[in-house]
Amino acid sequence: MNYKAIIFDFDGTLADTLEETRCIYNIMAADYGLQNVAMEDLAFLRDMSLNELLDHLSISKFRVPSLLARGTSMLRDRIAQIPMIPGLAEVIPDLRKNATIFGVLTSNSTQNVDLFLQTHGLRQHFTFLSSTSKLTGKAKHLRAIQKTFSLKAHELLYIGDEIRDIKASHKAGIDCAAVTWGFNSHSSLQAANPKFIAEKPRELLDIVR
């Protein structure tokens, strides 16, 4: 495929934030009387869609924006210590050579993403950073990115680690490469029917070439 734009999700796709996110969630859970998430719970939770996860944790959708905002703010103080997904730093420069537009679309903040990429010496490869304050708002932003850069739908590829990333790509009419090193499990990602599945960062090169 000849993609002109390669767009990444951030948490779980570029940044290995799963354990830090779990710790931050548990701090908030104690404050709001929510269910705690133990490390051994993650294998079970990885098979869930976003709605299933919220139902399981008894989190109202009305509470999600405030939790997301507070969690993002708490992560900012720790972002410089978050590791990159192993093997991605070596692959990103080669991926960048295959696309005119190289960006990030995330539910995290652009400030966090910018600091993370700066810390890992990769900010210069990315042409834009974009964020949405809604966990389910990515389809609208993907269409906006397509319009901003005057691209056809088949010229964009979104790379993400969650079922909701695949659903957003489907809704926007663009291809999605699902990566198995993030939150959702291989089987749950496959069931959501992405265009591609990558189990190792280097496999992304085969996809874009």
* Residues annotated as part of the active site: 9
Classify residue 16 by burial, with Cβ atoms within 10 Å: 0-12, 13-18, 19+: middle
11 secondary structure, DSSP code: B
User: Helices marked H in the chain — which ranges?
Assistant: 18-32, 42-45, 50-56, 64-76, 88-96, 110-119, 138-148, 163-172, 186-191, 203-208
User: Count of residues for the chain?
Assistant: 209
Q: What is the CA angle 90-92-96, rounded to 5?
A: 140
The backbone torsions φ and ψ at residue 165, rounded to the nearest 5 degrees and listed phi first, read -70, -40
End-to-end CA distance of the chain: 6
